[in-house]
Amino acid sequence: MRRLMVAGNWKMHGTRSSVAELLKGLKSQEFSATVEVAVFPAFLHISEAVEALRGSGIAVGAQDLATQSAPGALTGEVAASQLMDAGCSLVLIGHSERRQVIGEDESVLVAKFKAAQEVGLVPVLCVGETLAEREAERTLEVVGSQLDSIIDALGVEVFTRAVIAYEPVWAIGTGLTATPEQAQDVHKAIRDKLAARNAEVAQGVRLLYGGSVKAANAADLFRMPDIDGGLIGGAALNADEFGAICRAAGS
């Protein structure tokens, strides 16, 4: 049985005071022990989140990391080992905002994935197609090739210590959610693709769905057999809404 995971990606949001409020709100939520809960604050707020959430069972992750795992002379970057030292256990890799806006290519993502695992951080690899790619019926080809970059470079076994998040770009921040069936189809294709290389890895890896998940649609998504939780953006900035999504995963 895969343990469901619900993670909040706070993106470039939050001030010291709004983050303090959000952390206070999260600590007052009831979470089911069957669900793993995590938050990904901006770098600036990681220490505060780690301190505030100590003992709560909520894990803290980072939204990015440097391509090299060890500290060194690399102005503006944050090393995987520094994230571990700060109390992170997870890190997002390949979010569409970093692929598209920052321009991170597959070789950068492979290096980041490797750097994370070198120090024991669990990468959450984000994959997903644009609207134009979906309309051209290229969804599985695009998602497949994003996975292949990691598999070809590092081997399929790296997914025993990683999580995959399917986030259709057209559903991120748009209020347009993939239907549970649309999401399930892609999740099943991802699991089948991994299973063709290693059935055990495919059975164990958690596949999260992300893209306009809210308390109102979470339960229908999480009910699908290959959807093992969610990666939540906007709705994760409200503790009650995020708590309700986590409870939907536990029900």
- Is there binding between residue 217 and ligand 13P (CB under 6 A)? no
Among this protein's residues, is 95 annotated catalytic? yes
Q: Which of 233, 239, 241, 245 binds ligand 13P (CB under 6 A)?
A: 233
Among this protein's residues, is 167 annotated catalytic? yes
Q: Which of 69, 139, 212, 217 binds ligand 13P (CB under 6 A)?
A: 212
72 alpha carbon, distance to own chain's centre: 27
User: Locate tokens 């952390």: which residue?
Assistant: 23
Residue from 246, 227, 249 nearest 56 by CA: 246
- Is there binding between residue 210 and ligand 13P (CB under 6 A)? yes
Q: Which of 167, 226, 228, 241 binds ligand 13P (CB under 6 A)?
A: 167
Q: Which is nearer to ligand 13P, 158 or 172 (CB)?
A: 172
User: Locate tokens 């997870």: which residue?
Assistant: 90
Q: Can you tell me whether residue 197 is helix, strand or coil?
A: helix
Element (H, E) at 146: helix 139-154
Write down the least CB distance from residue 184 to ligand 13P, Å. Answer: 18
Stretch that binds ligand 13P, among 18-26, 102-110, 204-212, 240-248 (CB under 6 A): 204-212
Q: Are 110 and 149 contacting, i.e. CB atoms less than 8 angstroms apart?
A: yes
- Is there binding between residue 213 and ligand 13P (CB under 6 A)? yes
Tokens of 217: 């649609």
The beta-strand segments (E) located in 23-72 are 35-40, 59-62
Stretch that binds ligand 13P, among 49-57, 136-144, 200-208, 211-219 (CB under 6 A): 211-219
- Asked whether the CA dihedral 213, 217, 218, 222 is positive or negative, the reply is negative
Give me the active site residues, please. Answer: 95, 167
Residues lying near ligand 13P in the complex (CB under 6 A): 9, 95, 167, 172-173, 210-213, 231-235
